[in-house]
Amino acid sequence: MTEHLPQRIDVNAPIFTVTVAARLAEMHPQTLRGYDRQGLVVPQRTKGRGRRYSPRDIDRLRHIQRLSQEEGINLEGIRRILELERQLDAVGEQVARLAELLQRAQETPASRLFTVGEQGQVYLGRATPRRLPRALTSGG
């Protein structure tokens, strides 16, 4: 029976109706509709305008519920926390990309060298002949 299921489920796939999502998040369906209106969790829509929630949306709903019930944070505070978490994730992704670029640059010493062509073009590595432009060899 499970042979028809995908090996990995896309966490962004809009697969749950409001009723199922509410059950999974242990909330009332009206609460989900309210969060949608307020922009806290905005599900994707079907052609008939029905809401469809992804597994990532369910996690976000549970996170909101924890912040609200366990931490006593109001909805505006939760909105701000979610925005700060989004920004932090974006910065983390940028740091990871920069770290990868730095790692590659350190592994390839030639990539730190550059040459300048006769017309002033700058090349990483040794993309031009080894001859230096006259301006550099004549001191002026």
**Res 54: pLDDT:** 95
CB 111 within 8 A of CB 105: yes
Q: Average pLDDT of 122-138? A: 55
Residues 26 and 51: their CA atoms lie apart, in Å, by 17
In a domain, 91, yes or no: no
Residue 128 confidence (pLDDT): 46
Range of the domain at 130: 110-140
Number of domains in the chain: 2
64, 81, 98 - which closes a domain: 81
CATH number, position 70: 1.10.1660.10
Give the domain-ending residue among 81, 98, 132.
Answer: 81
Tokens of 95: 């740091």
Is position 133 within any domain? Answer: yes
Express each pLDDT in 72-94 by its tens digit: 999 999 999 999 999 999 999 99
Q: Is residue 118 part of a domain?
A: yes
Would the pLDDT of 125 be above 70?
no
Confidence check: pLDDT of 19 > 60 = yes
**Cα–Cα distance, 24 to 43 (Å, whole number):** 15
Task: Give the C-alpha separation, 25 to 66, whole Å.
Answer: 11
